[in-house]
Each structure stands twice: as C-alpha cells, then as structure tokens.
Amino acid sequence: MAHDGHRHDHGEGSELPPIALRVKALESLLVEKGYVDPKALDVLIDTYEAKIGPRNGARVVAKAWTDAAFADWLKRDATAAIASLGYTGRQGEHMVALFNTPDTHNMVVCTLCSCYPWPVLGLPPVWYKSMPYRSRAVIEPREVLREFGLSVPEDREVRVWDSTAEVRYLVIPERPEGTEGLSEEQLAAIVTRNAMIGTGVVTA
C-alpha cells in the first residue's frame, strides 16, 4: 500500500470552506423557518450527490475507455483533458487521473478534511467526509473496501491517495469485460461514483 500525502492548507477553526459554511447556515435557516422540508432537501442532495453530479466524471471515464489519445492525455495532464470536455471550476483546478490496472487498485481519501473533485463528481458523499473513513482508509484500506462490498485480491496493490487543497484525484476504473459493443454514452451510464473514488468497481 502506498499513502501519497500532501500538505493541506485550509485555515483554522473549521473543516469547511467559507462558502460551505454559508450554505449550511442558509439551509438551517430555511428549515427553521419552515420554507424547506428537510426530507425533500435530503432527497435533492442525494440526487446531486449520487446521480447528477457524478455524470461528468462518468463521461470522462467512458471517453478514456474508448479514446486512447484522450486516455494518454488524461495520464499526462488530467486537468487540461477534463477541461476539454467542459468540466472545470473550483475544487478541480489541479486534477490527477489514477488508472486502475490488474496490478493496482487506487483509492482516494482526504485525511484532514474532505477535498473532493466537485466538477467531475458533484457533492461529496457523507461517508467520504466522515472521520471513520478518513482515518481508516489509510490504515486498513482493504478492510474498508470489504465494508463497501469490494474484495481486492491480495496480489493486487492498494494505493491510497490523499487529496489536498492543491490536488484532486479521479480514479479511472478498469473497463469491465463484455462491454466491447457499448457506445461511449452507454459506458458512461454504468460508471458509478464509488468506482471513481475507488471504493467500488464498474460491472457490466
């Protein structure tokens, strides 16, 4: 296992950036005033977190699977390659693509807070921001992956990458067998958010 750690620079006093703190304050006020149903808000957040948001990243993965030149560009300069598809913005200024192989499984965590590639994965899931995931992913990654239902063979290295304020990671999962006849759009439809974090794999 390799743990690629980097310096985090988020300031003191809170794990959340100022914009996130303002959003949480606004959310609390709207709920308190009765303008927003917290259950409806949860459904909306879940939709953006697990369905709409990760579609951008899924398109990046599908293109990497079907376009060798794009995959090579992604390996050399993920930020520029991803930007060429129109996916840019805060939390995605410096992207690195991690390609899973038969020998290596990549997994992403942010040990000190919850740095996350918003332009390609949308909202970070609650578990990604939780202390148990952030602390255990580095110490016992295989056990954490098993809890996600993913058993990585012992002869395959698990590499844990620590996101930072400067660098965000996108896992490019292995393309599953039996998908040779699928279009790029059809391939994107089977790519999951967890597979792009490394806590899952893509199945046909």
Cross-strand bridge partners of residue 172: 99
Strand pairing report for 2-4 and 157-162: parallel
Residue with tokens 């296992």: 1
Catalytic site positions: 110, 113-115
| All residues at 6 or more sequence positions from 81 whose CB lies less than 8 Å from its CB, including other chains | 60, 70, 73, 74, 97
**Contact at 8 Å (CB) between 202 and 177?**
no
